[in-house]
Amino acid sequence: MTLSALTNPSDSAAIFESLNPPREADKGKAGSVEEMGSEEFLTLMIAQLENQDPTEPMDQLAFMSQLAQFAQVSGIQELNDSFSGLNNTLTGQQALQASQMVGRSVATNSNVSNLGVVGVDADGNPVARLSASVDMGNNASGGSFYIQDMSGQLVFSGNLPPGSGSLPVVWDGVDAEGNPLPPGQYRISAEVTRNGKTQTTSVYAHEQVVSVAIGAGNTVTLNLANGQSLGINDVKEFF
């Protein structure tokens, strides 16, 4: 018995089914080219060539079409596998880079900063520090920064030198009368003078990164010492 020339994918499916009768476990499953493995596809193509009618050889266009169809499906799968591997690699690299931020300080969008103990002096007394950045703008002739407790009471003020751009400021937790204040959160504000005019400006509190997390879509979240979390895209500066 000879087989007529195969000119379309439905003929290919018929040959494949005749060579590979469905098992009980496979009933109800589709048998499309997309679901074939490379060995199954090659078996099908060899069967087509061996069983074609010599008087009516297989249509070359149909043959090439089937090859192209399988190559396309196989190529897409390989591309998906490659992207998956690349994504895993990038996630690992991003996690490694993010872990290097632990222990560093970042400038946040908040003007509320934490006064924390960073060590002791020669006499064994605790040493505290609060730090932030003041936006001086362009060519400021100077200015002032202010520290308030969370009830709004002014506890300290200091002068800012002339400058431009971001200027770091540090407060040791001692009030205007020389008394050390307790650790905790304090609000910072600032004014700069430019062209003889005084205006308020932005202040960015510094916080230490204690851990990082990688979320969906490889988003990096920084967990700060004050208990807050910050997206890496919201960081103003790293220190």
Look at residue 71 and tell me whether its pLDDT is greater than 80.
no
pLDDT at 3: 41
pLDDT in tens, 179-200: 999 999 999 999 999 999 999 9
Q: How confident is the model at residue 237 (pLDDT cuts 50, 70, 90)?
A: confident
Residue 104 burial (C-beta neighbours within 10 Å; 0-12, 13-18, 19+): exposed
Pick the CATH number of 105-208 from 2.120.10.30, 2.60.40.4070, 2.40.10.120, 2.40.110.10: 2.60.40.4070
- The predicted pLDDT at position 230 comes to 86
Position 79 pLDDT exceeds 60: no
pLDDT digits (tens, 9 = 90+) for 108-137: 989 999 999 888 888 888 899 999 999 999
Do 135 and 204 meet the contact criterion of CB atoms below 8 Å apart? yes
In sequence order, what DSSP letters do the residues of 33-75 get, joined into one string?
Answer: GGG--HHHHHHHHHHHHHHBBTTBPPPHHHHHHHHHHHHHHHH
Summary mean pLDDT of the chain: 76
Q: Indicate the domain borders of the chain.
A: 9-90, 105-208
pLDDT (0 to 100) of residue 63: 56
pLDDT of res. 99: 72
Global pTM? 0.58
